[in-house]
Structure 1
Amino acid sequence: MDDLYDEFGNFIGEEADASEEESEHGVDAGQYVYDEEFEAAHEPTGQELMELDDEGPSNAVVLHEDKQYYPTAQQVYGADVETLVQEEDAQPLTQPIIAPPDIKKFTIEEDDLPPVFFDRGFMADLMNYPDQIRNVALAGHLHHGKTSFMDMLVMETHDIGERLEKRSGKKRDEQLRYTDVHVLERERGVSVKAAPMSLVLQSTKGKSHLFNIIDTPGHVNFVDEVAASLRLVDGVALVVDVVEGVQVNTEQIIKHAVLEDIPMTLIVNKVDRLILELRLPPTDAYFKLKHCIEEINTIIENTIPGAGEKRRLSPEKGNVLFACSEMGWCFTLQSFAKMYADNFPGVIMDEFAKRLWGDVYFNPKKRTFSRKPLQGENRAKRSFISFILEPIYKVFSLSISQSPEDLKATLASLDIVLKPSQYKTDAKVLLKLVCEQFFGPSTGFVDMVVQHIPSPLEAAQKQLERYYTGPLDTKVAESMKACDQDGPLVINITKLFNATDGKSFSSFGRVMSGTARPGMQVRVLGEGYSIDDEEDMTMATISGVHIAETRYNIPTDGIPAGNWALLGGIDNSIVKSATVMPPKLEDDEEAYIFKPITHFTESVLKVAVEPINPSELPKMLDGLRKINKSYPLITTKVEESGEHIILGTGELYMDCVLHDLRRLYADMEIKVSDPVTRFCETVDEMSATKCYAITPNKKNKITMVAEPLDDGIPEDIEAGHVKMRDGTRKVAKFFEEKYGWDLLAARSIWAFGPDELGPNILQDDTLPSEVDKSLLKTVRETIRQGFSWAAREGPLCEERKLVHLSLLYLLPFRLLHSAFCMDCIARTRPPSILFPSDTCTPHARHTTQRVSARPAERI
């Protein structure tokens, strides 16, 4: 017994073995209670932790792994909470468990509508009066002052002066650049996108006008934005730096405006550089100004000989503005003459303004004007020097050199009052403050635009004749001519602007007829739409209508005809440009579109892109679709090798495109190939053999021949000296008189290609005795389309154009369902394919041409 207990009385002996029968009975009974009674009585309800056990402890046997020591996450947080069990190192420490919302902002925008010096309700009322509206584009070369001129107008209309004065550090000295909102524009100091703004400005007489102004980029790579903007305007304000003069892009814009018959005015900017930088005397400054203006008139005359006098830019006509946008002043001869008329009652403003330019001399002793200069001591000066340049020089010199006390007395004689603290500022700031009060607001600019640029009502007829593809005698056309805001809705869309986050686009265009309102259901007609082929058409609903103001948009319930509108919700099917019309026109009229935009240049720089992570290919494709919408002249395509190709106008252009693709639209890393330039194909001699093809039914045959054009013809076509829309007789007369063509051959010209100003000619050289001309005319349009497609794509290396391709001759046939290629016999293709590139048999001459062709250059 003693061995069974220790010294403290604890039992340490072996326990008695239970009988096998009892053990089995006990286990069976316990198992029965666990499986049935416990499961039935303790079915989980989610409220176990809240219930009190009134029955006391249970004798049920619960296994260790089935016991619940802690409540589950579902019981604590609810059934809708998702719980994730991961390893400890599955997520890096730099990545938060719950990431904050990622809001991308690649553009600058106002938090709220900024205060302005005019009533926005008054601006909305002015939209109903087309005769008081002017649609203008500021265009010119890089860094010639377009954006700074726009800043000057913004400062006159927007009450943001106090906000700018609060800037500190480097931002205080930065230029405002109100219309540069893209992150790349701010970093590089170069405008990349066109920026529209609607402002209410007053003329010299105090009459208010609504100015729809679009600030365009000046870099030669972004001329596509200029071309898209010029489609929406009724006139161009050409900005030229007086020191640099006419540059490459300036000449391009002048030629395009003259060929498109767009009225043009001139802003001679940065006049202060003649005084502060070059330090020219007034006489030399006058000749510099005159040379700059005459240089532009020479380009106008050379573009269309004989039309120079009508379009001539001259200060005495009132279509030339002298400005210094950085210092905030501008004037015309008329506005400067008004300053004299206000101070000297005897001066007649209009008569005095006519004598302020040219070889008009003022004799101060006799106080008379003369056309001939006087010799000797009493030699007279030109009136522009005496009455304009010398006073400006005096204001500049006194503001910079005089002491604050003397300057205060001098300015008081000119009715200019400054704050005491402003006299202690930097010389440049002080000079700007003096000039702003001396010259006053930009009423001269308003007078010039109102006088020399037509209103939307006056320019509607010309817009339709040049850009509308439909007949001009329909009700829709008559409504557009009258800018009828109660007529059917017609909008010409030429530009797409991305939202701040880059996920959506708004369509920007000009309302030609009717009133654009939110909630309207419309038809969006793409560039490929026609009456015969309605595939490029979609139905959409306008989700919002805004007045575009660059950094902010003003929502409105309707924008009438003659104005610009920013529309939301209709951009899904728009790639470059489109025409918006109602679902059904009155009297079931057919819907016609506006012509695609005619660009100055073409995309010649080519790169291939691919995602670093192959699984992100769909993401990259979506980004490519978006940059195709954002940039008017960008081209994306897939080569036969599977490469995704981007075509742009230049290196800076492609850099901006790829930045937007990586950061704004796709948000991914991509691999980019080395840039290459494309080849341009041409014809250097007549085809060695007649190229023919037979349709599958063996009953139709087409034969064509290619040969080079005479020197000078492609240039004349591209310059617009001859156009197919002038009529067959005028075209035939042009080729007969200038190039000695046979009259019958000249009248057989069917089309220029690939577009209206394309340097290629399609000619019918069939004879009436061999071909049924009536049957031939039934497929004329089909042949034209095939010719345009071939000239645009190129049969050899699939480049953009067959540059200087010459005559194509047609022999007897009935239907066109075949393919051809220069200098080789093409294999027959399926009926719907014209001019396929893979039908070309590579001759030795073909190979030599491709190797020796100069890239990005017309041969």
Structure 2
Amino acid sequence: MDADLYDEFGNYIGPDLASESEDENEYRNAGEDGEDRDRSDEEMEEDKDESRDHPEQANMTVVLHEDKRYYPSALEVYGPDVETLVQEEDAQPLDKPLIAATRKPKFQIKQQQLPDTTYSIEFLSDMMDAPHLIRNIVLLGHLHHGKTTLVDCLVRQTHPYMHSVTDEKPLRYTDTLFTEQQRGVSTKATPVTLLLQDVKSKSYLLNIFDTPGHVNFSDEATAGIRMSDGAVLIVDAAEGVMLNTERLLKHALQERLALTVCINKIDRLVLELKLPPLDAYYKLRHIIEEINGLIALYSDSENPSFVSPALGNVCFASSEYNVCFTLKSFAALYARNHPTLNATEFAKRLWGDVYFNSKTRKFTKKPPHNTAQRSFIEFILEPLYKIFAQVVGDVDTTLPDVLDELGIRLTSEEMKMNIRPLLRLVCTRFLGDMCGLVDMCVAHVPSPLVHAPVKVQHVYTGPVDSPLAQDMINCDPDGRLMIHSTKMYPTEDCTLFVVLGRVMSGTLEANQRVRVLGEAYSRADEEDSRILTVGRLWISEARYSIELNRVPAGNWVLIEGIDRPIVKTSTITDLIASDDLHIFRPLKFNTQSVIKIAVEPVNPSELPKMLDGLRKVNKSYPLLGTRVEESGEHVVLGTGELYLDCAMHDLRRMYSEIDIKVADPVVAFAETVVETSSLKCFAETPNKRNKLTMIAEPLERGLAEDIEAEHVRITWNKRADYSNRKKSCIFCFFNGNATINGTLSLC
């Protein structure tokens, strides 16, 4: 430490100040600088010229601060033809970083590379040119009845790398959205194109639509129904026919689809309900009888097509354990060990009150003895019961002997697996692939070529006898191009959509110029018409897509580049002008959007982003509605709370990426009484035990005014005598003290 820097008390005083002579020298130098500034510009330019001539002197030249140049000017960098703009202040808001991190939004599971399959892509594309070998199928059913899991079985059959997945967690291959995986419920209808084999090992191309089972998303099922030629109605063996099962069955019959039935989850009869084989048979027969009753009720034809295992249009499955068979496919198992057995004739005797007499080796309609079992129980249910019991109960003791009898070989590592994966593996080795389902669809679902006349007559608005309609009826790949689109799917970044359509006639090629007709198109008003260029073409495999150059008639295709003018459905055709050009009918839904919510961005400046997101989410959901009320608020209409919750998630996260305020949901009521009804209206309660007969007559004042005036109390008065009451409403029961002058009566 330097002692001169501190005083005697230890305080820091610093070094001595400069002397007066030094100050004079600094003042003199400053005066010389001032003289340099007073020099004329001409003298300064002369000095600059001298510095150029003598560069060694330029290094010693004093350069002022304003004359210093650290970077080249914009004129030197960009040239005189470029206009440059210099911002003196920061225009970027403070809540955004100067260098934002690169963010790639990802909302769905997608495979970037084509996986290995049991067939080649070339063989798949060649099958698309044979419409008689194509089946377009939609899977319908109630919530959690096993539609997605059944598709997983087909995916495991055609994708060998899936066999190594032995996890007990379900695969849910067609639930591509992360929200679907988290919720455990399908919210989008997803198409899958697979090449499968029937009982005779003949290959067919199956276009399968996996639809949601929740009643709120029945519009997705409607879009799948319009694209298909046949429906597979999936019913839970334990729960039976549910509410949405009946609604979807009725809707499929109205759309004139060929109906087949798959009774799924037969393992629940064994493992959960623990029913004996006879009771399980009665349970299955009751489900089939109930379905036939609904077919007779809702069918328009005089001779409806009923379903029965004996006819071959009913199969039994346990999608969790990879089991699916028809009577014919199960009879083929016996024919392998008994070559003289006729599997077709044997299958006809495996359902109904048919018994096998072991002494005479013949089938009879009467039981040969009191303990005789029906043939379905003896030859199908009891073997399945024994396999389930051996795997679940006696894994280490008697199971190896049973597997040796059946010819099933398992390694020591496979024998140490958990019960569920082990049972799935044993059932797969025993019953083989899902050939029973394929055989049922091939036999009872018509091909696009066969079903084309019915399809065109039902969905085409133009005359059926026109040349254009005849090309669609013949499913002619060389005819006029006609494509009917019903759904759109967002790309990975959710900026654009790909259009899913069915090629009714002609052949669609990549980079082809087409004419897109909207739902409002007519020959009198051709405003809703656009000429666009098709981008790339794909066929959907749920988690990946296969790109093709051309798609002939009878197939489903994903189309790129034509999504902007399409709102819901569309008609896509070529550029050839004709007088017989009409559009396909818009979708006819079996439900309505009755719940509405008002939406508003938290930041008012982000209103354009919200409007763009509303347009995109409107394209994504077939039945979603958006409109602007007279008050100026933006309203979203949906079928239910779960429906709107999914729509708002997509609007916030996928399409607009902003914060949005949502008002409380409101149910839209549209009921009123206009005049006296000439018919008696019957209303039944859900338990089918109470029936109300209502006669509507004019009201002198509005019902809403009576509700606001508290003249009406919405209660269920069990003690009231409704036969003598005349002050009641269709939806409300009035209090006894209420006095209303209206004449709406309840008898």
Give the alignment's TM-score, normalised by structure 2.
Answer: 0.84
Q: What is the alpha-carbon root mean square deviation over aligned residues?
A: 3.4
Instruction: Give 1:846 shift.
Output: 7.3
Determine helix, strand or coil for the equivalent of 1:316. coil
CA gap of 1:13–1:276, structure 2 versus 1, over 3 A, is closer
Q: CA deviation at 1:161?
A: 2.6
Moved more, 627-636 or 348-357: 348-357
Aligned-partner Cα distance in 1 for 2:536–2:376: 51
Question: Which residue in the other structure is 2:116 paired with?
Answer: 115
When residues 67 and 514 of structure 1 are mapped into structure 2, their CA distance, relative to the original with a 3 A threshold, is: same
Q: Using a 3 Å threshold, how does the CA distance of structure 1 residues 713 and 257 change in structure 2: closer, same or farther?
A: farther
Q: What's the counterpart of residue 161 of structure 1?
A: 162
Aligned counterparts of 1:527 and 1:117: Cα–Cα separation in 2: 41
C-alpha spacing 1:13/1:554, structure 2 compared with 1 (3 Å)? closer
Match of 2:375 in 1: 383
Q: How far apart are the structure 2 equivalents of 1:845 and 1:613?
A: 40
1:233 aligned residue: 228
- Which residue pairs with 2:666 in the alignment? 676
CA contact (8 A) 2:466 2:580 kept: no
**Is the contact made by 1:108 and 1:181 (CA closer than 8 Å) also made in structure 2?**
yes
- 1:602 matches 2:592: yes
The question of 1:635 aligning with 2:492 is answered no
Q: Is the 8 Å Cα contact of residues 601 and 607 (structure 2) preserved in structure 1?
A: yes
TM-score where L is the length of structure 1: 0.74
Q: Does 1:505 align with 2:497?
A: yes
Match of 1:372 in 2: 366
Measure, in 1, the Cα distance between the counterparts of 2:407 and 2:38: 114
| Residue in structure 1 matched with residue 41 of structure 2 by the alignment | 32
In the TM superposition, 1:615-654 aligns within 5 A as 615-654=605-644
Match of 2:212 among 209, 217, 240: 217
The aligned residue for residue 280 of structure 2 is: 285
Alignment of structure 1 residues 791-802 onto 2, 5 Å: none
**Residue number in structure 1 paired with 2:412:** 420
Distance 1:843 1:36 in 2: 101
Say if 1:34 and 1:61, in contact at 8 Å, map to a contact too: no
Separation (CA, whole Å) in 2 of partners of 1:612 and 1:639: 19
Shift of 1:34: 5.8
Q: Does 1:315 align with 2:309?
A: yes
- Tell me if the contact between 2:513 and 2:532 (Cα under 8 Å) persists in the aligned partners: yes
Whether the 8 Å CA contact 2:483–2:504 is kept in 1: the answer is yes
Aligned twin of 1:245: 240
Residue 411 of structure 1: aligned partner = 403
Question: What secondary structure does 2:232 align onto?
Answer: strand
User: Which residue does the alignment assign to 1:324?
Assistant: 318
SS of the residue 2:135 aligns to: strand
Residue type matched to 1:667 in 2?
Answer: E
Gaps of 5+ in 2: 1-18, 685-694, 713-728, 733-745
Offset of 1:409 from its aligned partner? 2.9
One-letter amino acid of the structure 2 residue matched with residue 111 of structure 1: Q
Shift of 1:854: 7.7
Measure the CA separation in 1 of the matches of 2:618 and 2:446: 33
Gaps of 5+ in 1: 1-8, 43-50, 166-171, 687-707, 716-803, 807-822, 824-841
Say which SS state the counterpart of residue 253 (structure 2) adopts: helix
C-alpha deviations, 1:230-278, integer Å up to 9, x for none? Answer: 0000000111110011111111001111222211100100001111111
Q: Is the contact between residue 607 and residue 672 of structure 1 (CA under 8 Å) also seen in structure 2?
A: yes
Distance change (3 Å), C-alpha of 1:52 and 1:321: farther
Q: Hey, what does 1:554 align to over in structure 2?
A: 546
User: Structure 1: which amino acid aligns with 2:630?
Assistant: E
Q: Which residue of 1 aligns with 2:299?
A: 304
Percent pairwise identity: 45
Are residue 844 (structure 1) and residue 689 (structure 2) matched?
Answer: no
Pairs aligned (count): 677
What is the letter of the counterpart of residue 548 of structure 1?
S
Q: 1:264 to 1:384 in 2, by over 3 A?
A: same
Determine if contact 1:30/1:61 at 8 Å carries over to the other structure. Answer: no
Structure 1 distance, partners of 2:418, 2:448, is 44
Other structure's SS at 1:466 match: helix
Cα 1:277–1:67 change in 2 (3 A) is same
Match of 2:692?
A: none
Q: Write the letter of the residue equivalent to 1:631.
A: Y
Displacement of 1:113: 0.8
Aligned counterparts of 1:513 and 1:436: Cα–Cα separation in 2: 40
C-alpha distance in 2, partners of 1:265/1:41?
100
The residue that corresponds to 1:345 in the other structure is: 339
Q: Distance in 1 between matches of 2:35 and 2:406?
A: 118
Q: Deviations over 1:302-337 (max 9, x none)?
A: 223774x63211000000010000111110001111
- Higher RCO structure (Cα 8 Å, ≥6 apart): 2
1:146 is the counterpart of 2:155: no
* Distance across 2 between alignment mates of 1:846 and 1:277: 51
Q: Is the 8 A contact 1:531 1:590 kept in 2?
A: no
Letter in 1 for 2:215: V
For residues 83-98 of structure 1, what are the structure 2 equivalents within 5 Å?
97-98=98-99
Kindly tell me: are residues 484 and 647 of structure 1, through their superposed partners in 2, closer, same or farther at Cα, counting changes over 3 Å?
same
Instruction: Assess if the C-alpha contact under 8 Å between 2:515 and 2:532 holds in 1.
Output: yes
Partners of 2:49 and 2:554 in 1: how far apart?
A: 80
Q: Indicate the residue corresponding to 2:602 in structure 1.
A: 612
Report the Cα offset of residue 345 of structure 1. 2.3
The 3 A distance-change label for structure 1 pair 416 and 54 is same
| Equivalent-residue separation in structure 1 for 2:120 and 2:473 (angstroms) | 30
Secondary structure of the corresponding residue to residue 165 of structure 2: helix
One-letter amino acid matched to 2:70: P
User: Within the alignment, does 1:260 sit opposite 2:229 as a pair?
Assistant: no
**In the alignment, which residue of structure 1 is the partner of 2:55?**
54
Q: What is the aligned partner in structure 1 of residue 722 from structure 2?
A: none
